[in-house]
A and B are shown apart, each in its own frame.
Chain A
Amino acid sequence: MNPHDTPLDYAAVGLISGLEVHQQLLTDKKLFCQCPAGRYTRTHDGTVLRHMRPTLSELGVYDGTALMEFKTKKHIVYLLNRANTCTYEMDDTPPFPVNQAAVDVAIEQCLMLGCDIVDEVHIARKQYLDGSIPTGFQRTAIVGVNGKLPFRGRILSITQVSVEEDSCREVSDKGHLIVWRTDRLGMPLIETVTGPDLRTPEEVAEAILLVGRVCRSTGHVRVGMGASRQDVNVSVRGGRRVEIKGVPKAGWAVGLVHGEGWRQVNLLRLCDELHRRGFRKPEDVRVECADVTALADGGPVPQLCAAQWQHLVQEQRRRLGFELGPGAFKVFAVRLPGLAGTLGWPTQPARTFADELAGRVRVIAGLDEPPILFHSEAWPAGAEALLQKLRAAARCGEQDGLVIVWGPERDVRTAADEIRLRYVDAADGVPNETRQPFADGSTDFERILPGPDRMYPDTDSPPTRVTRDRVERLRAALPEPPWQREARYTEVGVPVPVAHYLIRRGGARLVDRVVDEAGADLRFAAFFFGERCKGLRRAGVPVDHVRDDAWVELFAAFAARPVLRDAWETLVRHMAAQPGVPVRTVVAELDLDREPPGWRSHLGQWVAAAGREAGRRPPPSVARYQTGQVMHRLRGRVPVPAVLEAVAAAAEARS
């Protein structure tokens, strides 16, 4: 379903959104070690097995639940490659002094975002227990605060900008085993946090693009897949902050923010309904489990049959204790007293509350085999008789809901309790969650949203003093803000999308250089880099291999000999193929440095030959073909009007 088929009055429901934009910085090395940054690998030559242990205060209560939680923990495996990973990333060596080049770029970014730079940068540890960082925390530090960006005629506030190390890339997550690759780990990035100033999904998408343009306008950040990722925070009035993590494209935000607004509104309605039925406090929610393994075995639902499960385990080569939890295969019928009608309760567009349960079961119980659970309000067709039997076995009345979960016994028991806990949360409204986004605008549970309590100082790293001299030196070298550049470009007729593309992809820097240093026409240069070179890049020509100075040389050559512009494509292809060769050499090698001697005298022969090749076509087509053939020989060497005139004259002479 298209999420826009489910209208929502954003102002009426009090939708609020803010961003956390992550942008990798372009540095040679990582933030806390000397490993190269940006060298991604697909293979590994070593592996480490680790576990994350909640520190005491996170356990909160000292009871068996905490211990149980620890015992169902995940095995975490890191794939190491010597090309991009040292013992720092393995958490076997303390951090080296923070990369000051990265701090410089971060300060520069803060200045672009209009921030006040803090006087002393203190590294903090931000805990992550999902294994995405082997230490169990991310080293991060605030560099700037109190920034402002012009946005839709008002101000988008920048709460803070921090410099931090990037996390691992997830390779797989099956059962009780999560696997991470460490190539990206430790690369410097900045996290820009905006105020909760955005009010519609479209504003969110636009703000993502704006922050992206500001960051990229310095040319000191990485671009391409994964170089920039944003977390979008959304809430509605009466709801709670939900973080949609790692939105890869601004365009996705429109559907995602809408979907989350819709979800929270529906969860609040569900909360009211639960209250109406008397579910208010945690103890009001009870679940009852019945072991229905034997009853479901051999029945019409293959997922619930032991043989099918064994087949799956073998086929996927799930190892006991890793991808496969401990215990015998069990099917549990979870009776939800008094909760009939809530499983099919709509949440997101095309999703129901049962999907909320499935998300928790998948992540926390490690039961990840789709469809994760079955329930009484969306039962597989053709298996109604089984449902009746299961309902009877679970002593499930008209007023009750029924959920079926299956898998290794311990995980199934965890799942049943998670279902209860999710209902406890539902009776309290919208839980604080981190959710993972999908292209269709839907999201799924990722983890409980951590609060500010997970921050503490990094005792391994001394603070860095940032002097005002350093700030001013960096400020002096800043490019103009993207909105000013955009105004300057559009004024001379550059379309807004081309201007945005140039700012986003760093081409604007080249445009301004060739204008300043080679006297190029701004509009021509903007089209050249923003359209023509972009087209060649898409066609696979390595235009990014061309050095900046060579572009200036090329435009100087254009200025000296305007006819060369006509041969731009040939020239750029050659420049890209041999990046070290001076432009004047390329021009000379292509015989583009002068008019071909005696071209006028040969022209008659060329036109005649083309005429013969063209054969029996209508006359206008023949003329076009002849012109094309001659242009091919003279493009970039003789001005087009002169060629056209000469071709016309030759044709005239022959007729």
Chain B
Amino acid sequence: MSDPLKGYKGRARARLQSFGVRVWSDVVANNDAGSRFEGVILPRSETLDDLHVVIKLKTGYNVGLHVDRVTSMTEVGYKEAVYKIPEKEFPSRPELPRVTLLGTGGTIASRLDYRTGAVIPAFTPGELYGAVPELADLANLTTKKLFGVFSENMAKDNYVALAEAIGKEIESGVDGIVVGHGTDTMGHTAAILSFMVQDTPVPIVMVGSQRSSDRPSSDAALNLIHAVRSAGRGEIAEVQICMFGPTSDQYALLHRGTRCRKMHSSYRSTFRTVGGVPLAMVGEDFRYLVDDFRRRDRSRRVRIDTAYEDRTTILYYYPGMKPDLVDALVEKGYRGIVIAGTGLGHINKPLYPAIGRAIQQGVHVVMTVQTLWGYAQMYVYDTGRDLLDLGIVPLDNMLPETALMKLSWVLGHTDDHGEVLRMMRLPVNGETTEREPHNGYLILQGGLPETEEFVASHWK
């Protein structure tokens, strides 16, 4: 039995106990001003003070009453919130593709308990069908919950488990896989899956939401619809991210897992392909924007390779960085360091000896650019050439986060510097590209007349 006064402590707890009431009690309370409150006692957040009791009034509003002002409180009923979502069987239609949704955490869909305000996640096919009935027109859906973590808590074990689960699903013959994932580190997971799951015969589509699914304006349902459509019917058999293109409810973009980044903390259209263009637009239909992707092919055999060394890090360079930071990483046993350098891939001179020592001790140091767009081109300036001489490996236009994921994966295979260098520089799936198209870098600058004209004539 859980705590009947969940979240209440100190004075508030003592006061509630003295009234003989508990969380979920339907109460009538009076205060020292003669005001009367009728409603349900809600659990209180642990982080809040110990002076107030929260009541959800019959009107639906919540108010906090200072317990010292409450003169009486009587339980007139009790009804615990039911954290169970009604299910309806997901209809099966033989002509539709088979898609498996793997859950890693977060809520893709949810239902509100209005009485208590609780958000109840919907995950099983039956629950999802209730929340997003359009899915039944797109695929025969199976769901598997792998774990329930916020995306910032994803780490080695989760990556390995997820890659293995994907392998099993593919072996079982599904037509596509959707991975529900928090958006914060979706780019990281998409990158590592691109290395751990190679030669997939079917699409692997990562999806999440920027506005939680309990809101009428949420992007979750539309994202899920687009993702299931892409997994079931799309042609792109790669690890990809499927999220809003514009912030308007129009279409999603499919981004290659190794080239995609979350670029805004809260916008719906937060994911952007960096240094290239997205693979496709998905709405009611598909519009492919490139043709150099791996196509769906049931005869291809997937290779699951979950090697992973997590003693790796990103060193985000800043002016005045001290060399002892690098020494400390080496001392603490880090095996790989991705530097996000300035400009074409630079760091200050005082760091050189420390970098040299690190490499001497067998630490693998690679260079990416914190500008995100563009290549590490270290032979342009003397300083860059000096760094190359130290043994730093430039990674062209690989994104820093992708580089971290790849270095972790590579170091899971080998510690031989030559082999590390070879593997890091050999693209698995577009993490570096030989060419950068001129429309691969387009950040429209607001305020310019031509931009304003564009913005005024398109839904954002």
User: Chain A residues in contact with chain B, CB under 8 A?
Assistant: 44-57, 59, 62, 66-67, 70, 77, 80, 87, 90-94, 116, 118-122, 124-127, 129, 134-137, 140-142, 145-146, 160, 162, 452-457, 459, 462-463, 465
User: A118–B61 Cα gap in the complex (Å)?
Assistant: 12
User: A527–B114 Cα gap in the complex (Å)?
Assistant: 54
Query: Shortest CB–CB separation between residue A47 and chain B, in angstroms?
Result: 6
Which of B48, B64, B86, B119 is the most central at the interface, judged by chain A CB atoms within 10 Å of its CB? B64
On whether A55 and B112 interact (CB within 8 A), knowing A47-B460, A91-B217, the answer reads: yes
Per DSSP, are chain A's interface residues mostly helix, strand or loop, or mixed? mixed
On whether A455 and B59 interact (CB within 8 A), knowing A118-B64, A121-B64, the answer reads: yes
Q: Is B360 positioned at the interface, with any CB of A under 8 Å from its CB?
A: no
| Sample of 26 A–B contacts (CB below 8 Å) | A44-B456, A45-B456, A46-B460, A47-B456, A48-B460, A53-B218, A53-B221, A54-B216, A55-B111, A55-B214, A67-B134, A91-B211, A92-B210, A93-B266, A116-B33, A116-B35, A118-B64, A120-B63, A121-B63, A124-B60, A136-B215, A140-B61, A146-B36, A456-B60, A456-B117, A462-B48
User: A52–B214 Cα gap in the complex (Å)?
Assistant: 12
Which of B48, B52, B117, B249 makes the CB contact (< 8 A) with A50?
B249
Query: Shortest CB–CB separation between residue A54 and chain B, in angstroms?
Result: 7
User: A198–B111 Cα gap in the complex (Å)?
Assistant: 39
Q: Once the chains bind, are B216 and A119 in contact (CB under 8 Å)? A: no
B221 surroundings in chain A (CB, below 8 A): 53
Which of A122, A137, A162 is the most central at the interface, judged by chain B CB atoms within 10 Å of its CB? A122
Nearest A residue (CB) for B134? A67
Q: Once the chains bind, are B249 and A56 in contact (CB under 8 Å)? A: no
Nearest B residue (CB) for A56? B111
Q: Once the chains bind, are B48 and A66 in contact (CB under 8 Å)? A: no
Q: Once the chains bind, are B459 and A455 in contact (CB under 8 Å)? A: no
Q: Is B65 positioned at the interface, with any CB of A under 8 Å from its CB?
A: yes
A49 surroundings in chain B (CB, below 8 A): 248-250, 459
Which of B34, B63, B452 makes the CB contact (< 8 A) with A118?
B63
| Given A80-B460, A119-B65, A120-B65, 4 further pairs, Cβ under 8 A | A55-B215, A57-B114, A93-B265, A120-B64
* Binary CB contact string for chain B from 241 to 274 against chain A (1 if under 8 A, 0 otherwise): 0000001111000000000000011111000000
Q: Is B88 positioned at the interface, with any CB of A under 8 Å from its CB?
A: yes
Q: Is B339 positioned at the interface, with any CB of A under 8 Å from its CB?
A: no
Q: How extensive is the interface on chain B, given as a class? A: 35 or more
* Binary CB contact string for chain B from 191 to 217 against chain A (1 if under 8 A, 0 otherwise): 000000000000000000011101111
On whether A62 and B88 interact (CB within 8 A), knowing A46-B460, A56-B110, A92-B268, the answer reads: yes
Number of A-B contacts (CB under 8 A): 168
Nearest B residue (CB) for A142? B61
B102-135 interface with A by 8 A CB criterion: 109-114, 117, 119, 122, 129-131, 133-134
B155-214 interface with A by 8 A CB criterion: 210-212, 214
A91 surroundings in chain B (CB, below 8 A): 211, 217
B214 surroundings in chain A (CB, below 8 A): 55, 456
B62 surroundings in chain A (CB, below 8 A): 122, 124, 142, 457
Q: Once the chains bind, are A137 and B122 in contact (CB under 8 Å)? A: no
Nearest B residue (CB) for A144? B35
Query: Shortest CB–CB separation between residue B340 and chain A, in angstroms?
Result: 26
Which of B37, B52, B266 makes the CB contact (< 8 A) with A92?
B266
User: A91–B219 Cα gap in the complex (Å)?
Assistant: 11
A47 surroundings in chain B (CB, below 8 A): 456, 458-460
Q: Is B69 positioned at the interface, with any CB of A under 8 Å from its CB?
A: yes
B264 surroundings in chain A (CB, below 8 A): 92
Nearest B residue (CB) for A464? B64
A452 surroundings in chain B (CB, below 8 A): 58-60
B212 surroundings in chain A (CB, below 8 A): 459
